[in-house]
Structure 1
């Protein structure tokens, strides 16, 4: 058997010959989930500014700081990536994840913290549906089914579907003013204060009359 002229590297954390701890290994590259999340954020950013037909994988890749082939590796193709972007399933699960008596408070706080801390809104991309022609119809259909209808199925009392649409419409209005119009008074007010003021308006549609 051949032997190496170089000593084996010490295990991470093990002492070297001098008695000093071995240097820690270099940080690993972004894991797959972090990379996928960066790609999704980039695609959402572009979808809010350009028609679906005008967005290229190269543009998404440049925005995400990755290569276009990496997008193909994780999502397959542009259509598969945008099918993911046009789904509200995971967003709705987080948005509606609270008991009904405090759901209005949760929805308002979740929307505002997403905008203020992450620059991302769980439902606001529905307002860009007219940009995307046929894909806009998919976006609208997903929104109605995955967000509004899902909320309506949780509500008790009469007119549940109408009340769900009113609640979500009220929430969207806040999202537009905060995230798109960027109202200076709204953005200069703590999220907790806006939530306390605005949540009762949303909750009024959720609580049975």
Structure 2
């Protein structure tokens, strides 16, 4: 068969056309991360999917893989981005006298949980980490290498790593009881009152006498 010019028609390409660039452009990476945080928040790590993330970002699933690789990697990146405010907590320890480090750290960390903008991503991350070991490992590695190690490096007493982790346990436990489990009267207590009660314990972990 020939066309009007006498030449055979061009052969049709078979298969699904490549769409790896669908939705690509300025802001695509940020849209994917935003959609990933929403997907993990709504469905948790186990039920979240690359396809769901792609749909939320308005891109092709192949573009999600292109930027971030497998689901574990995009979760790790989303965790790090969402956790960025808390990663500066080490500055709260050294921003003044050692005697006031507990109050400064308590105020900073509990303040991060108090703000809905920073609290919601952290809650989503925590729920995923509690339910899935892969998500827990990502979260654990981030806490250990990016937060606790930085705080420990700024302490001068014995066993600085254990001290920093005990201080973090005090604050994370308080935040979970207040914002996740929502046990009263802690859930409704005034933030300043909570800080005043928790800060001395945090200070004891950071700089107090060591058994």
TM-score of the two chains, using structure 2 as the length reference: 0.64
Q: Which moved more, 1:71-80 or 1:37-46?
A: 71-80
Instruction: Quote the offset at 1:189 in angstroms.
Output: 2.2
Q: Which residue of 1 aligns with 2:155?
A: 155
Give the structure with the higher percent helix: 2
| C-alpha spacing 1:127/1:207, structure 2 compared with 1 (3 Å) | farther
Q: Unaligned 5+ residue runs, structure 1? A: 1-30
Q: Is the 8 A contact 2:54 2:64 kept in 1?
A: no
Q: Unaligned 5+ residue runs, structure 2? A: 1-25
Q: Distance in 2 between matches of 1:104 and 1:36?
A: 37
Say yes or no: does 1:134 pair with 2:127.
no
Q: Which residue of 2 aligns with 1:27?
A: none
Q: Is the 8 A contact 1:92 1:146 kept in 2?
A: no
Q: Which residue of 1 aligns with 2:41?
A: 45
Q: How does 1:179-194 map to 2 (within 5 A)?
A: 179-194=179-194
Q: Distance in 2 between matches of 1:103 and 1:37?
A: 33
Q: Distance in 2 between matches of 1:97 and 1:170?
A: 18
Count of residues paired in the alignment: 174
Q: How does 1:80-159 map to 2 (within 5 A)?
A: 80-87=73-80, 90-100=84-94, 101=98, 102-118=100-116, 120-121=118-119, 125=125, 128-159=128-159
The superposition leaves residues 116-153 of structure 1 with CA deviations (integer Å, 9 ceiling, x where unpaired) of: 32253486645743422334323322322222222211
Say yes or no: does 1:72 pair with 2:64.
yes
Q: Which residue of 2 aligns with 1:15?
A: none
Q: Is the 8 A contact 1:91 1:123 kept in 2?
A: no
